[in-house]
């Protein structure tokens, strides 16, 4: 994944949204962190990894990938807000498929790191959160290429939505 390019694309989208909605002087960091947390919750819901009582399986792979990439958007946006977007050398783990129990643990790690970042806005906390979220993507079986391509497609959709008054 070309994180440098993704950060640049996200910065352009963020600027477009902030200019369009007159948000340049608004404090957005807390809302971006909350938006990321909500996207993580939506991803968890689509995987259904916690629904031990249900016989229904997870959503389609493409739905889960789109939810995952929605999270990437807000994670990048948070990094931009914190001026932590100059580091783009994250190593993507090898794609695998984790059990539901393993996924629950990984999601709790992400949730814990969201709260750590919110309380202590350090580069180390941001990078740890980023790496934990990449671990989730790999554990869902997504490759680097799939995530990069899905991010670019969703970024384009997000620009279009803004153009159309989303």
Whether pLDDT at 29 is above 90: yes
Query: What is the mean pLDDT of the segment spanning 66-91?
Result: 90
What domains can be seen in the chain, in order of their start residue?
A: 3-163 (1.10.4010.10)
Query: What is the mean pLDDT of the segment spanning 138-162?
Result: 93
End-to-end Cα, the chain, rounded Å = 28
Question: Residue 22's pLDDT band (boundaries 50, 70, 90)?
Answer: confident
Task: Work out the angle between the directed axes of helices 29-47 and 61-81 (0-180°, nearest 10).
Answer: 160
Instruction: Please tell me the pTM assigned to this model.
Output: 0.93
Question: Residue 73's pLDDT band (boundaries 50, 70, 90)?
Answer: very high
Question: Residue 86's pLDDT band (boundaries 50, 70, 90)?
Answer: confident
CB atoms within 10 A of CB 76: 26
- Give the pLDDT confidence score for residue 87 in this predicted structure: 63
């Amino acid at each position: 994944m070309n994180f440098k390019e993704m950060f640049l694309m996200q910065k352009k989208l963020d600027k477009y949204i902030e200019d369009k909605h007159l948000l340049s002087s608004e404090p957005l960091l807390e809302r971006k962190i909350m938006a990321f947390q909500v996207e993580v919750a939506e991803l968890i819901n689509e995987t259904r990894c916690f629904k031990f009582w249900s016989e229904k399986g997870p959503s389609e792979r493409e739905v889960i990938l789109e939810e995952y990439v929605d999270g990437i958007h807000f994670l990048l946006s948070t990094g931009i807000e914190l001026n932590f977007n100059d580091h783009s050398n994250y190593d993507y783990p090898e794609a695998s498929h984790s059990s539901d129990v393993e996924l629950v643990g990984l999601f709790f790690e992400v949730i814990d790191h969201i709260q750590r970042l919110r309380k202590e806005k350090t580069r180390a906390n941001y990078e740890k959160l980023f790496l934990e979220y990449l671990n989730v993507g790999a554990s869902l079986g997504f490759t680097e290429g799939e995530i990069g391509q899905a991010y670019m497609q969703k970024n384009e959709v997000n620009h279009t939505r803004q153009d159309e008054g989303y």
